[in-house]
Amino acid sequence: MKKGILLVISGPAGSGKGTVNAHLLERDDFVYSVSATTRAPRPGEVDGVNYHFISKEEFLHRIEHGDMLEYTEYCGNYYGTPLKEAEEVLASGKNLILEIEVEGARNVKARYPDAVLVMLLPPSYSVQEQRLRGRGTETEEKILERLARAKEEILCAPAYDYVVYNRDGCDTEAAEDILAIVTSEKCSLRRNPTVAEDYLNA
């Protein structure tokens, strides 16, 4: 059984990450990585579906034992990716999607160099701005804050392996580009270093 690909997908606000990931998750060879967190569940959130809700003590214990692939602290709560669960999914041959921000993505790559880092982008900064304003649900201050944050994130693109553009109305195409990346990575010599021996002995 060939190992699955650990696929880290980051995308600034307005990139349509959620929709694109939903397309990938319609396939049965993709699994979404459920994060662990120390924050309290919100009404309607289900343990093991939205998050693995664990105590701060347990979280710190896992960090100490190297059982978190990456983690971050935000507003006094910890969020992270359980390593064991990720390894089990990958060993089963399925691809695991981690939807995390740029700092987490870099940490994953450092810890697990086989990870494939994809940055999903709106077609351009001006379209991104339109998308954020088009939602009409946020204050001007909040929009400017999100755009500033998006700029910072995009400047981290060179740390990624791939960049995929999510053009208007083309989220299926963006998902297909990501599928192509996974297929291609599986064919890469880097992931098949013993191809000649394997071939001749099969």
State the residues that interact with a second copy by CB under 8 A: 118, 121, 123-126, 151, 154-158, 160-164, 176-177, 179-181, 183-185, 187-189, 192-193, 195-196, 199-202
Tokens representing residue 162 in the block: 């791939």
Alpha carbon distance 45, 48 (integer Å)? 9
Burial of 156 (0-12, 13-18, 19+ CB in 10 A): middle
CB nearer a second copy, residue 83 or residue 179? 179
As measured in angstroms, the least distance from the Cβ of 60 to a second copy is: 35
As measured in angstroms, the least distance from the Cβ of 160 to a second copy is: 6
CB nearer a second copy, residue 139 or residue 199? 199
CB nearer a second copy, residue 22 or residue 155? 155
Residue 25 to residues 6, 22, 86, 146, 191: CA-CA distances in angstroms?
Answer: 14, 5, 16, 27, 23
- Whether the CA torsion 130, 176, 188, 92 is positive or negative: it is positive
As measured in angstroms, the least distance from the Cβ of 96 to a second copy is: 18
CB nearer a second copy, residue 73 or residue 114? 114
CB nearer a second copy, residue 99 or residue 177? 177
User: 10: closest CA among 125, 113, 149?
Assistant: 149
As measured in angstroms, the least distance from the Cβ of 119 to a second copy is: 8
Residue 54 CA to chain centroid, in angstroms?
Answer: 21
Residue 154 to residues 140, 143, 148, 182: CA-CA distances in angstroms?
Answer: 21, 16, 10, 22
As measured in angstroms, the least distance from the Cβ of 80 to a second copy is: 26
CB nearer a second copy, residue 46 or residue 189? 189
Contacts of 161 (CB under 8 A, 6+ apart): 116, 117, 118, 181
Phi/psi-derived region of residue 121, left when phi > 0, alpha when psi is between -120 and 50, beta in every other case = beta
As measured in angstroms, the least distance from the Cβ of 38 to a second copy is: 33
